[in-house]
Each structure stands twice: as C-alpha cells, then as structure tokens.
Structure 1
Amino acid sequence: MAPNVARKGNQDGPTPGKTLPVARSASLPPEAQQALAMLAQVQAEALKHSRWVGGDFAEQSRAIHYGERADEPIHGQATPEEARSLLDEGIAVMPLLVPVAPPDELN
C-alpha cells in the first residue's frame, strides 16, 4: 500500500471525469396540481368536522364500533398492524390522502 503523501505544488491533480448535467426537478402538470389542491381542500373540510384522537385511534375506533362511545367522526394515528386489525374486525378505516401534522405538533 502506498503512503498517503501530498502532491507537489507543481503537479496537477487528477482531472475530473465527465460531469453529468444536473437534473431539473420534475413538476406535476397543472391539471394534477389542481386536482391535488382540490383533494387537500376537501380533506381539510372533512377534518374540520372530525375529532383528533392521536395515537388512541385504534382504541377509540373499536369503542365507537362496539357501541361503547357515541358515534362520531374521528381521525388519528395508527400503525399498519393496528389498521389491519381494525379492518379484520370489520371496522372501516382509511389513510388520509394528504398528510397532516398532528395538532399538538403545530406551532
């Protein structure tokens, strides 16, 4: 193995290889942007009429499903395993299509 010796001042360093052009970020077509904006607006309106339950989503969903709590729209967080378990029990759940920040994490 060769020692790590610095190059002399009169020597050129290795020439860089062929550089690739920087890729432009792909933007969505205007129609897709408009559709996503409308979807986000509809979801935001639906969430106004829903109660945030956070990580207790699976427990709260079961309580509502089995009549232990009043029926009301809720939203919160669940692991994929919890969501699968709810579906197996016949409890309808779905992911939010547009991600939202939990209310307790907002400034």
Structure 2
Amino acid sequence: MIRYALKCAEGHSFESWFQSASAYDKLAAAGMVTCAVCGSTSVEKAIMAPRVRPARSAVSSVGDAPTEAPSATTTTPAQTPTPVSAAAAIPAQAPATPSLSAPNSDLERAVSELRKQVEANSDYVGGNFAEEARAMHLGDAPERAIHGEAKPEEARALLEEGVPVMPLPFLPSRKTN
C-alpha cells in the first residue's frame, strides 16, 4: 500500500491510499480518482514529505539492537527488522494535513450543510434519477423531492424536455472516500 498527498484543480488537498504506484496511475488515467471535497476528476499528486521510520535502535527496547540502519541496497538474513508493537511504530504527533472528516473553509461548511439538507429532505433514487424525474414531470408518478445520479446525456435530455434539474456540488455518500 502507498499513501499519496493529492490536490485537485480547485486547490483541495487530501490524502488517499493505493495498492501501488501503478494502481494509482491506472485509476487516475481512467478518471476514477476524484477529489474528496468537490468530486473533480482532475487530481494530481502533491508534494509530500517522505515517511521515514526511526532507526531500529531508537524504537527497540532490546539492548543488542544495531545502532546504525542497514544499507538499502543489500539484504541479508541478519538484517531482518526487529518486531515492535503497533503503538511504538506510530508517531505520537498529530497529522500535518487537516482531517477530511471536518470541513476547513466556509465553502466546505456550506456544502456540508447543503448535503445534510438535501439528504434530510429528499429521497435518494440512485441511478434511476432520470426515469424518476421524467415520470414525475409527465404525471406518471407522484411529485416528491428526489436526488440521485444521471449521466450528462440524461441530464441534458431532461433539461431539453423541460424537466427542472440541477447538479449538486457533492457526490453521493456511498461514492466518497
């Protein structure tokens, strides 16, 4: 697993884990890496500090641990890492990047509040949004507040038919990281 610091075209910074560097490249090329804040697919790797493990002698409480790190180019059976507890391996300091669970700016707070209002006052219809909206417009289904997903072509067709629709500035909850 590899963790990347990412940044979208709108300037939102976030982190995400990938199976490998090539897995990130494949997902990014397919447009499947999206901003956790705005949903933009224009996402690039951002500069991030490397995560360096402390020397084994600094982590281990055993007195016979080596005092210098082994060479990165050679590996011998004597250089196997000393097991340490998970608590000792995790740094005690807070992460340098902001948490994605809490909005950081006024815009993010407003989008978060809008999401709460939309989810509380409308029904999620998923990929059936175009069919549901069209049926309500034609009178085949009772009118109600709905939100869901539609392909750009479906949304365009709804607008051409006079069905009032608008995009929301967030992804459905199931599609967020």
| Shorter-chain TM-score range | 0.5 to 0.7
Match of 1:88 among 117, 137, 160: 160
TM-score by length of 2: 0.39
Match of 1:46 in 2: 118
Higher strand share: 2
Instruction: State which drifts further: 35-44 or 77-86.
Output: 35-44
Residue of structure 2 equivalent to 1:17 = none
Q: Where in structure 1 are there 5+ consecutive unaligned residues?
A: 1-21
How far, CA to CA, are the matches of 1:84 and 1:35 in structure 2? Answer: 27
> What is the CA distance between 1:33 and its match in structure 2?
0.9
Q: Output the TM-score relative to the length of structure 1.
A: 0.62
In the alignment, the residues of structure 1 paired with residue 162 and residue 126 of structure 2 have an alpha-carbon distance, to the nearest angstrom, of 21
Gaps of 5+ in 2: 1-45, 49-97, 99-103
Structure number with higher relative contact order (C-alpha < 8 Å, ≥ 6 residues apart): 1
- How many residues of Structure 1 are paired with residues of Structure 2 in the alignment? 77
1 CA distance for matches of 2:132 and 2:47?
A: 46
The residue number in structure 2 matching 1:35 is 107
Larger Rg: 1
Q: Which runs of 4+ in 1 moved over 6 A?
A: none
The reply on whether 1:77 has 2:149 as its aligned counterpart is yes
Aligned partners of 1:100 and 1:75: how far apart in 2?
Answer: 9
- What SS is found at the alignment partner of 1:95? coil
